[in-house]
Each structure stands twice: as C-alpha cells, then as structure tokens.
Amino acid sequence: MAGIAVLALGGNALTRQDQRGTMEEQYANALAMARSVRSLIRKGWDIVIVHGNGPQVGNLAIQHEESADLVPALPLFTLGAMTQGALGSLICLALHEVCRQEIPGAVSVVTHVEIDPADPALLAPTKPIGPFFSRSEAASLEARRGWAMTEDSGRGYRRVVPSPRPMVPIEADAISTLAATGYVVVAGGGGGIPVARSGDGAYQGVDAVIDKDFAAERIAHSVGAQALVMVTGVPAVRIDFGTPAERSVAEMTAAEARRHLADGQFPPGSMGPKVWAAVEFVEEPGAAPGRLAAITTPELVYATLDEPAGVIEGPGGTRIVADPVPVPALVP
C-alpha cells in the first residue's frame, strides 16, 4: 500500500513532558520524526505532516502577557500562526537534514481552517495549552489574567482554551499539489489557524486552538490520503488501562473503536480525539477502499503502516480499519 500518508505529530512529541522546550530539545525530537518519514518515503509514500502546538502556543502566550507593558499582546489565533511558522521551520530543517537524498524539498504551508462560528465549543474551554502549574499558581492565574485552568492527567494544572471542530482546510489544494510532486508538506500546524466567515463572506480569525488530530483528519480527507497516523508517546492503544487486564491493541475495526469510546476506554483529554479522528477517517462516505488509520510512536510508524503480514518483524502500533463489508448470502 502507498499513496499520501498524513502524520499528525503532537506538540508534546516536539517538547516532551520531561523537557523545558529549548530549541535544541525540539530539534532533536524533530530529527527522530524525520527518520521515520524517510523510511516511509523509501517505501513509496507521499507525506503530509500536521503538528500540534499546545505547549508552544501556551508558552508564547505567557511571553506576550509578561511583556504587555512593553509591546501589545497579540490574539491567540495570531500566536497560532506564529507557532506554525516556527515549528514548520524546525520540522522542515530536520527533514532537509535527514531526507535530502529522497525528496526535492520540504515546504511549510501556513494553513487556515474554517470553523462554525456557532460551534458550542467556543463557549466551553477544554483544550490544554502551555506548561503545568501547581494548584496555587493556577488559582493566581485565574484571578490575575482571567484564564480558565484545569487539572490535567494528574500532572498539574494548565490553561484551557476553546477548541472548535474543524470543517474545511482552506489551503487543501495547495497541500495536495505539493505532496503530489514529491515534497514533504508541513501543514495545519497547531490544528490550523481557526477562521470563520463574517457576514460579507470574508474570513476572520477566532481565538481558539483546534485539536490537531481532528484537523489532520480533515486535511487527510481533503487531499485524498490513504493513511492517517497519529504519532504519539505510546507505542499502541491500550484497553483497560491501569488495571490488571491492561493490554495493547494491534488492530481494531471502526465499530470496535466506537464501542470502546462509548465504554469510556479513551478519555477525551488524551487518547479520545485520536481514536475519534481515526474512526471518522476510515468511515468517511465515499472514501477509497483500504484506508487505514494508525496510532503509535515515531519509531514504529513504518512497522505499523506495513501490511499485517509484511516483512517487518517485532512490535507495531495500533491500526484502525473500516468494518468489513458483509458478503450477501447466495440465493439458491
């Protein structure tokens, strides 16, 4: 199998939990991703990379708040555009270093994504951004800056902002054209810059951060991708996490994934968006047969996209595939 593969790279994959987010740390992480991309290119895949920006855009917002007495602080959607440029440059440099023998180049496309201005998610902040704080620090930030803060996975408190569902990536045609000519395209950074149409049809920025997994699904659909890969910090999806029955899943159908989501196996703040995006991708009406989604680490992307009975030995990640089409019974 080959075609276009869209890789959704989490912002935490560039700034890991135990790191401060220095440029040196982020570049080393980008090199690890680039080596996985090289393996896929050698197998015949065209690559589009969508990256998150949760840690980075939150850090940038703090820098702007702290310097507001000297220069005006900019709106959140503009900070998202700034992180698209910074992280897109970082990823492209890593791709040039690792993949320069395999590709004509790497291109970062500043990407706008249309949202529904009536999306109720705009009134209910849920998307964590920036660093972790203690309970007392979070309370102080809520009082001083009016930020919404929430506890995040037992690791501390983070700022949360609105996260509307993406509808249409505006630059999809440009992304598709570049990918078809062999370029590795970095697009939809941070889920894309959220925009909504005004009364006269023009686009206006919206202060929000789109979930990059849902944005990657929309981009993958728009460019006719054959595979959608959510690159994360765990090798594979786990069922019954934290219990004696915990186990990894090598492959599940969309129906099985939906059942696990309904059972609460995948929390909305962690694995949930990834699994939902995978299900939506493989179930898209009119999609070409054989689409698959995967969830795994950078090191296991190649093994996970390989055919189940392929040449790769050892562990792989989790594959999500469409439900099998029932075969009609023969009528005597």
Domain boundaries, the chain: 4-114+166-321, 125-161
Give the pLDDT confidence score for residue 6 in this predicted structure.
97
Per DSSP (E only), the strands in the chain are 4-9, 46-51, 106-109, 112-115, 127-133, 148-151, 157-161, 166-169, 184-187, 193-197, 203-205, 227-231, 238-239, 247-248, 251-253, 292-296, 318-321
Catalytic residue among 88, 212, 316, 317: 212
What CA–CA distance (Å, rounded) separates 143 from 148? 10
Q: Are strands 106-109 and 184-187 parallel, antiparallel or unpaired?
A: parallel
Give the pLDDT confidence score for residue 294 in this predicted structure.
95
121-124 contacts, C-beta under 8 A, 24 or more apart:
121/162, 121/163, 121/164, 121/165, 121/208, 122/162, 122/164, 122/206, 122/208, 123/162, 124/162
- Is 212 annotated in the active site? yes
- Is 269 annotated in the active site? no
Nearest to 133 by CA among 160, 168, 170: 160
b/e string for 126-142 if b means 16 or more Cβ within 10 A?
ebbbbbbbeeeebeebe
Catalytic residue among 10, 11, 130, 188: 11
What CA–CA distance (Å, rounded) separates 42 from 181? 15
- Is 127 annotated in the active site? yes
Which residue's entry shows tokens 């997994």?
213
Catalytic residue among 10, 188, 274, 316: 274
The pTM score is 0.89
Catalytic residue among 12, 105, 269, 272: 12
Give the pLDDT confidence score for residue 310 in this predicted structure.
39
SS3 label, residue 32: helix
- Is 43 annotated in the active site? no
Q: Which tokens in the block code for residue 152?
A: 């995040």
Give the DSSP letter of residue 299.
G
Phi, psi dihedrals of residue 123, rounded to the nearest 5°: -100, 0
Any bridge partners for residue 113, and if so which?
A: 169, 194
- Is 59 annotated in the active site? no
DSSP 138-156: HHHHHHHH--EEEE-TTS-
Catalytic residue among 127, 130, 191, 317: 127
Q: What is the pLDDT along the chain (332 residues), one digit of tens a residue?
A: 579 999 998 767 777 777 877 888 889 988 988 998 998 999 899 999 999 888 888 889 889 888 888 998 899 999 999 999 999 999 999 999 999 999 999 999 999 999 999 999 999 999 888 888 999 999 999 998 889 999 987 789 999 999 999 999 999 999 999 999 999 999 999 999 999 998 888 999 999 999 999 999 999 999 999 999 998 888 899 999 888 989 999 999 999 999 999 999 998 777 999 999 999 999 988 777 889 999 998 888 888 886 553 333 447 899 999 988 655 555 55
Give the pLDDT confidence score for residue 307 in this predicted structure.
53
CATH architecture, range 4-114+166-321: 3-Layer(aba) Sandwich (3.40)
Nearest to 192 by CA among 223, 173, 213: 213
CA angle 261, 131, 185 (to 5 degrees): 70
